[in-house]
Structure 1
Amino acid sequence: MSYSKRVSLLMGMDSFIVLFSIFIGYYILNPYFNIYTLQMLIISSLTLLVSHHVFAFIYHLYHKAWEYASVGELVAIVKAVTFSVGTAAIVQLLVNGDIYIRVLFITWLLHMCLIGGTRFSWRMVRGRFIKPGIEKEGALIVGAGSAGTMLVRQLLRNNESELKPIAFVDDDIAKQKLQIYGVTVLGKTENISEIVDKNRIDHIIIAIPSLNKLEIQKIYQECSKTKAQVKIMPMIEDIITGKVSVNQFRDVQVEDLLGRDPVELDVQGISKKLTGKTILVTGAGGSIGSEICRQVSKFKPQKILLLGHGENSIYSIDIELRNRYRDEFEIIPIIADIQDRQRIFDLMDKYRPDVVYHAAAHKHVPLMEYNPKEAVKNNVIGTKNVAEAADTFSVSNFVLISSDKAVNPTNVMGSTKRIAEMVIQELDKHSQTKFVAVRFGNVLGSRGSVIPLFKKQIQSGGPVTVTHPEMTRYFMTIPEASRLVMQAGTLARGGEIFVLDMGEPVKIVDLAKNLIQLSGYTEEEIGIRFSGIRPGEKMFEELLGENEVHNEAIFPKIFIGKSVAVDYSSVQTLIENHTSYDTEYIKNYVIGLANKNEELLVKSAN
Structure 2
Amino acid sequence: MFYFNKKTSALVLFDAILIAFSYFSSYLIRFDFKIDYTYYRNILITTLFFVISITVSIWLFKGYHIIWKYATADELIKLLFSILIGCSFATFICYIFQMSIPRSISILTFVLTSIFLSGIRIVYMYANRKIGITKGVKSQKQRRAIIVGAGSAGQLILDEIKKHPEMGIKPVAFLDDDKSKHRRYINGVVVLGNIEDLPYAVEEKSVDLIIYAIPSAPSNLLRHVLELCNQAKVELRTIPGIYEILRNPQVLNARNIRKINLEDLLKREQIKIDLEDVTEFLVNKRVIVTGAGGSIGSEIVRQVLRFEPAEVVCLDIYENTLYELQQELRSTPYISKCRFLIGSIRDVSRLESIFNKYRPEVVFHAAAHKHVPLMEENPQEAVKNNIFGTLNLIEVSEKYNVQKFIMISTDKAVNPTSVMGMTKRICELLVQAFNAKSKTEFSIVRFGNVLGSNGSVVPLFIKQIEKGGPVTVTHEEVRRYFMTINEAVQLVLQAAAFAKGGEVFVLDMGEPVRIIDLARDLIRIYGYEPDKDIKIEITGLRPGEKLYEELLIDKENCVATKNDKIWIEKVNHNVLSQKEDILSNLFFLKDKIEVLNSEEIKTYLKALIEEFEQPLITVMEEKGEI
TM > 0.5 between the two?
yes
Could you tell me which amino acid in structure 1 is paired with residue 189 of structure 2? V
Q: Is the 8 A contact 2:406 2:496 kept in 1?
A: yes
Partner of 2:206: 200
Q: Is the 8 A contact 2:470 2:536 kept in 1?
A: yes
Q: Kindly state the Cα deviation for residue 39 of structure 1 after the two structures are TM-superposed.
A: 6.7
Partner of 1:425: 432
Q: Evaluate the alpha carbon distance shift between residue 114 and residue 590 of structure 1 in structure 2; reply closer, same or farther with a 3 A threshold.
A: closer
Q: Is the 8 A contact 1:233 1:247 kept in 2?
A: no
Partner of 1:392: 399
Q: Is the 8 A contact 1:300 1:328 kept in 2?
A: no
**1:525 match: secondary structure:** coil
From 341, 362, 371, the equivalent of 2:369 is 362
Could you tell me which amino acid in structure 2 is paired with residue 131 of structure 1? T
Q: Kindly state the Cα deviation for residue 254 of structure 1 after the two structures are TM-superposed.
A: 1.2
- Given the alignment of the two structures, is residue 584 of structure 1 paired with residue 563 of structure 2, yes or no? no
Could you tell me which amino acid in structure 2 is paired with residue 484 of structure 1? L
Residues 193-217 of structure 1: CA deviation (Å, up to 9, x unaligned): 3322332221111233444556545
Q: Following superposition of structure 1 onto structure 2, how do residues 241-252 of structure 1 map, counting pairs within 5 Å?
A: 241=250, 245-252=253-260
- Given the alignment of the two structures, is residue 532 of structure 1 paired with residue 535 of structure 2, yes or no? no
Partner of 1:344: 351
Q: Evaluate the alpha carbon distance shift between residue 175 and residue 410 of structure 1 in structure 2; reply closer, same or farther with a 3 A threshold.
A: same
Q: Evaluate the alpha carbon distance shift between residue 366 and residue 186 of structure 1 in structure 2; reply closer, same or farther with a 3 A threshold.
A: same
**d(CA) in 2 for partners of 1:507, 1:571:** 39
Q: Is the 8 A contact 1:408 1:594 kept in 2?
A: no
TM-score, length of structure 1 as denominator length:
0.79
Q: Evaluate the alpha carbon distance shift between residue 55 and residue 216 of structure 1 in structure 2; reply closer, same or farther with a 3 A threshold.
A: farther
Q: Kindly state the Cα deviation for residue 397 of structure 1 after the two structures are TM-superposed.
A: 1.6
Q: Is the 8 A contact 1:263 1:556 kept in 2?
A: no
**d(CA) in 1 for partners of 2:226, 2:429:** 43
Could you tell me which amino acid in structure 2 is paired with residue 272 of structure 1? E
Structure 1 residues 284-293 or 230-239, which shifts more?
230-239
- Given the alignment of the two structures, is residue 492 of structure 1 paired with residue 519 of structure 2, yes or no? no
From 293, 302, 314, the equivalent of 2:301 is 293
Q: Is the 8 A contact 1:571 1:593 kept in 2?
A: no
Q: Kindly state the Cα deviation for residue 262 of structure 1 after the two structures are TM-superposed.
A: 3.9
From 430, 434, 442, the equivalent of 2:449 is 442
Partner of 2:281: 273
Q: Kindly state the Cα deviation for residue 537 of structure 1 after the two structures are TM-superposed.
A: 0.5
Residues 139-174 of structure 1: CA deviation (Å, up to 9, x unaligned): 111222333223223333444331111111223332
Q: Is the 8 A contact 2:164 2:254 kept in 1?
A: no
**2:167 match: secondary structure:** coil
Structure 1 residues 547-556 or 519-528, which shifts more?
547-556
Q: Is the 8 A contact 2:79 2:118 kept in 1?
A: no
**d(CA) in 2 for partners of 1:545, 1:146:** 37
From 164, 167, 190, the equivalent of 1:161 is 167
**d(CA) in 1 for partners of 2:433, 2:448:** 24
**d(CA) in 2 for partners of 1:143, 1:314:** 40
Q: Is the 8 A contact 1:67 1:122 kept in 2?
A: no
Residues 44-75 of structure 1: CA deviation (Å, up to 9, x unaligned): 9x99x969988996897998958978797599
From 162, 170, 180, the equivalent of 1:174 is 180
Partner of 2:155: 149
Q: Following superposition of structure 1 onto structure 2, how do residues 70-89 of structure 1 map, counting pairs within 5 Å?
A: none
Could you tell me which amino acid in structure 1 is paired with residue 213 of structure 2? A
Partner of 2:514: 507
Any unmatched runs of 5+ in structure 2? 1-5, 614-626
Q: Kindly state the Cα deviation for residue 305 of structure 1 after the two structures are TM-superposed.
A: 2.6
Q: Evaluate the alpha carbon distance shift between residue 432 and residue 8 of structure 1 in structure 2; reply closer, same or farther with a 3 A threshold.
A: closer
Q: Is the 8 A contact 2:322 2:340 kept in 1?
A: no
Q: Kindly state the Cα deviation for residue 548 of structure 1 after the two structures are TM-superposed.
A: 7.6
* Identical-residue share of aligned pairs (%): 39
Q: Rg: which structure is higher?
A: 1
Q: Evaluate the alpha carbon distance shift between residue 56 and residue 150 of structure 1 in structure 2; reply closer, same or farther with a 3 A threshold.
A: farther
Structure 1 residues 543-552 or 483-492, which shifts more?
543-552
**2:425 match: secondary structure:** helix
Residues 220-252 of structure 1: CA deviation (Å, up to 9, x unaligned): 4554543222222346678865x6743431221
Q: Is the 8 A contact 1:302 1:330 kept in 2?
A: no
**d(CA) in 1 for partners of 2:295, 2:8:** 52
**2:368 match: secondary structure:** coil
Q: Kindly state the Cα deviation for residue 455 of structure 1 after the two structures are TM-superposed.
A: 2.1
Could you tell me which amino acid in structure 2 is paired with residue 381 of structure 1? F
From 585, 610, 613, the equivalent of 1:573 is 585
Partner of 1:376: 383
Could you tell me which amino acid in structure 2 is paired with residue 233 of structure 1? I
Could you tell me which amino acid in structure 2 is paired with residue 462 of structure 1? G
**d(CA) in 1 for partners of 2:70, 2:360:** 59
Could you tell me which amino acid in structure 1 is paired with residue 142 of structure 2? K
Q: Evaluate the alpha carbon distance shift between residue 74 and residue 423 of structure 1 in structure 2; reply closer, same or farther with a 3 A threshold.
A: closer
**1:131 match: secondary structure:** helix
Q: Kindly state the Cα deviation for residue 545 of structure 1 after the two structures are TM-superposed.
A: 8.6
**1:402 match: secondary structure:** strand
Give the CA RMSD over aligned residues.
4.6
Q: Following superposition of structure 1 onto structure 2, how do residues 53-68 of structure 1 map, counting pairs within 5 Å?
A: 65=68
Residues 3-60 of structure 1: CA deviation (Å, up to 9, x unaligned): 777788899999999999999x99xxxxxxx97769779979x99x969988996897
Partner of 1:30: none
Q: Kindly state the Cα deviation for residue 536 of structure 1 after the two structures are TM-superposed.
A: 0.7
Structure 1 residues 379-388 or 153-162, which shifts more?
153-162
Could you tell me which amino acid in structure 2 is paired with residue 441 of structure 1? G
Q: Is the 8 A contact 2:148 2:175 kept in 1?
A: yes
Structure 1 residues 187-196 or 408-417, which shifts more?
187-196
Q: Evaluate the alpha carbon distance shift between residue 173 and residue 387 of structure 1 in structure 2; reply closer, same or farther with a 3 A threshold.
A: same
Q: Evaluate the alpha carbon distance shift between residue 540 and residue 566 of structure 1 in structure 2; reply closer, same or farther with a 3 A threshold.
A: farther
Q: Evaluate the alpha carbon distance shift between residue 4 and residue 433 of structure 1 in structure 2; reply closer, same or farther with a 3 A threshold.
A: closer
From 271, 277, 290, the equivalent of 1:263 is 271
Q: Kindly state the Cα deviation for residue 263 of structure 1 after the two structures are TM-superposed.
A: 2.4
Could you tell me which amino acid in structure 1 is paired with residue 414 of structure 2? V
